[in-house]
Amino acid sequence: MTNHPLLEARDVTVRFGGLTAVDAVSAAFGAGELVGIIGPNGAGKTTFFNALSGVQPPTGGELFAGGKRLTGAKPHRYAAAGVARTFQTPRVFAGLGVAANIDFGLQFAGRGRQASWLLKDAASILNLIGLTAQANLPAAAITPSQQRLLEIGMALATRPRILLLDEVAAGLTEAEVDAMAQLIRRLRDELDLTVIWIEHAVTTLLRYVERVIVLHQGRKIADGTPAEVVRNAEVVEAYLGDEMSDMASTQEEAAA
């Protein structure tokens, strides 16, 4: 673990007019962590992510990456500091080939940065995410789940230290969700990444992450291991108990 977190939010607040979407949230993410962020709809998860990646300047609070203060900086400064992200709706260049999409990421930010040999070129990255066979297809011609993988590949091409994943399992089948979760864990392990993952498929996320942050109505109401979080009374109430019984049983199975 480094002396300072790789990414840190201190009392980050984001307001849109009279609405406080993120309310004084503090969180620190260290090297090699795999952290999930969960919360009911409208909890402020994506807005918090947008702040962490420079897409949305915070109204209040401070943001640091690699010990450098980046509050209010543009997204390319966050990318230069080693922060990469995906979006809820995959942002790929539909008319370009799959390999060409990865090349764009390499040219955009990844060339001058030290990286694992696993990220040395587009072919290596496609192999890592399982899209080698699709390399020459236009991005528009691959399946939605493959487009999500491609967007992760484009993020990896910037050779990040921190990968922010925004609902990469949305719209996938149960088998695809599980395969995605396994890939995320493998990328973290093999590339020594810090991964911060927002997901609606809460039970899957809890099986794979080591730490969970729970947001509710813009506030952080819990930050701990999955087993701790599913027993937290405030979290159970925020979810109205509907998913909590599933989540608790998932944790019991994992612990067994």
> With contact defined as beta carbons under 8 Å apart, do 161 and 82 qualify?
yes
How many C-beta neighbours within 10 Å does residue 55 have?
Answer: 16
Tell which of 115, 138, 160 closes a domain. 160
105 and 1 in a common domain: no
pLDDT tens for 45-75 read 999 999 999 999 999 999 999 889 999 899 8
180 and 255 in a common domain: yes
Among candidates 142, 192, 187, which has minimal Cα distance to 165?
187
Tell which of 160, 185, 208 closes a domain. 160
How many C-beta neighbours within 10 Å does residue 42 have?
Answer: 13
199 and 102 in a common domain: no
pLDDT tens for 195-211 read 999 987 788 889 999 99
Kind plus residue range of the DSSP H or E element containing 163: strand 162-166
Q: What is the spatial distance between Cα 9 and Cα 51, in angstroms, rounded to a whole number?
A: 9
Tell which of 143, 160, 177 closes a domain. 160
153 and 69 in a common domain: no
pLDDT tens for 163-173 read 999 988 888 88
- Beta bridge partners of residue 35, listed in sequence order: 196, 211
154 and 95 in a common domain: yes
Q: Compute and round to an integer the Cα radius of gyration of the chain.
A: 18
| Torsion angle of the four alpha carbons 193, 198, 200, 205, in this order, in degrees rounded to the nearest 10 | 30
Q: SS3 for 10?
A: strand
Give the predicted TM-score (pTM) of the model: 0.88
Q: What are the DSSP calls for 141-156, one per residue?
A: GS-HHHHHHHHHHHHH
Tally the domains of the chain: 2
Helix axes 98-105, 122-129, angle to 10 degrees: 110
Query: Where residue 8 sits, what CATH number does that domain have?
Result: 3.40.50.300
Parent domain of 181:
1-82+161-256
167 and 47 in a common domain: yes
